[in-house]
Structure 1
Amino acid sequence: MLIQLFILGVLSENNYHPYFIKKLFKSFVGVDPSFKMSDGKLYYHFDSLEKKGYIEKKEVVQTDNRPEKTVFAITEDGKAYMVELIYKTFNNINISNVNSLYIPILFLKFVDLNRVIILLDQAIQKESKRIDSLLAAGNNPSVLHVEHIQLIVRHADHQLHENLRWLEDIRDSLVEYMSNKDQ
């Protein structure tokens, strides 16, 4: 889903060939090593998006002695699907995997930010309750005797709260942006 979102988001900016998009995507590997894409995976997603009518071939270009490159463009259906994917990602936030928001954040200019703020507020409330439940379970007297359990609880507490703060930072940043935009 994130690879398709990335492809659609980049094509929303301009028409490109898959190799260019792969180079852009590779730049994210330094940010988060979980972002990986093989040529096969890339072309699979391009084929899938094209079959669904979300992207279309625009032209084939050839420079010097280089292989031909097919340039793609996003369709109106593709734009709608991209927006749907962004909302879906924000609607399904998992506090343990907040880096799944990296790619959708790149393309927030294509969605209703007020809706994203609402989705973030809902996720923050839901995940706060989940953190409290996890910490309560880790501090339950029946497991306190388990060797080193508090090491795990402290790490989980720190990591999950850090991720929760990041969600709050995103929300606060969007709220500030919206209030400055309205002035």
Structure 2
Amino acid sequence: MDTQIFILSKLMEGNTYPYKIKKQLSDPVPLDQLGGVTESKLYYHFDSLVKQGLIEIVEIIKEEHRPDKQVFGIMTKGREELPKKIYKVFENADTISEMVVGLLNIKYVDRDKVVEILEKKLKIFIAHWEHIMDFDKQIQVDKDKENLKEFLGGYISTRTEHTISWLEELIKRIQQMDI
């Protein structure tokens, strides 16, 4: 889905062809390598978007001694589906790192709706953490496991507090239009 969002967002800026998008994915940061986006995967996503009726071929450029370039444009349905796909990124993400493609394309969605999604996610996360803390108080461990329980409890607690803090910071920055 992230690749499809990237393609649709590039087509919102203007018509383009797959090879150009592949180059944009690798410059200046090699996102294509980091995300495992090969040329064949990219073409697969273009084909998928065509089959979904979100994009279409708008031009074929013929060059001597080179393969034809298929230039794609976004259709009305694609413009309507892009925000839905971005909202799904926020809804399905378990970590902020899984929200990057949504954050990069936040200009195509309603910020208030994103904040609403994130606040709901934050409430669920905090409620889950409180439940775990209550459960942790009830667990009795052998003396020889006490150190492990303390270590794991500290690790999980620190990680959870860190996640809550950064999620709150993300919500604040979206509200302030800093992101």
TM-score (norm. length: structure 2): 0.82
| Counterpart residue identity of residue 161, structure 1 | E
**Match of 1:141?**
139
Q: Distance in 2 between matches of 1:31 and 1:65?
A: 27
Cα distance change of structure 1 residues 124 and 68 upon mapping to structure 2, 3 Å threshold: same
Question: Which SS does the other structure have where 1:59 is aligned?
Answer: strand
Q: Is the 8 A contact 2:56 2:74 kept in 1?
A: yes
Q: How many residues align?
A: 175
Displacement after TM superposition at 1:163 (Å):
2.7
Q: Partners of 1:66 and 1:134 in 2: how far apart? A: 61
Alignment of 1:109-128 (within 5 A): 109-128=107-126
TM-score (structure 1 length as normaliser): 0.80
Deviates more, 1:129-138 or 1:113-122: 129-138
Q: Gaps (5+ residues) in structure 2?
A: none
Q: In the alignment, which residue of structure 1 is the partner of 2:103?
A: 105
**Corresponding residue of 1:45:** 45
Percent of matched pairs sharing the same residue: 28
CA contact (8 A) 2:16 2:73 kept: yes
Q: Which range is displaced more, 124-133 or 97-106?
A: 124-133
Aligned to 1:89: 89
| CA gap 1:56/1:122 in 2 versus in 1, 3 angstroms | same
Deviation at 1:141, TM superposition (A): 2.9
Seen in structure 2, the aligned counterparts of structure 1 residues 86 and 142 have a Cα distance that, compared at 3 Å, is same
The aligned residue for residue 156 of structure 1 is 156
Per-residue deviation, 1:57: 0.9
The SS at the match of 1:57 is strand
Q: Which residue of 1 aligns with 2:74?
A: 74
Paired with 1:30 and 1:44, the residues of 2 have a C-alpha distance of 17
> Larger Rg: 1 or 2?
2
Q: In structure 2, the residue corresponding to 1:56 is in which secondary structure?
A: strand
Deviation (angstroms), 1:106: 1.1
- Root-mean-square deviation over aligned CA pairs: 2.7
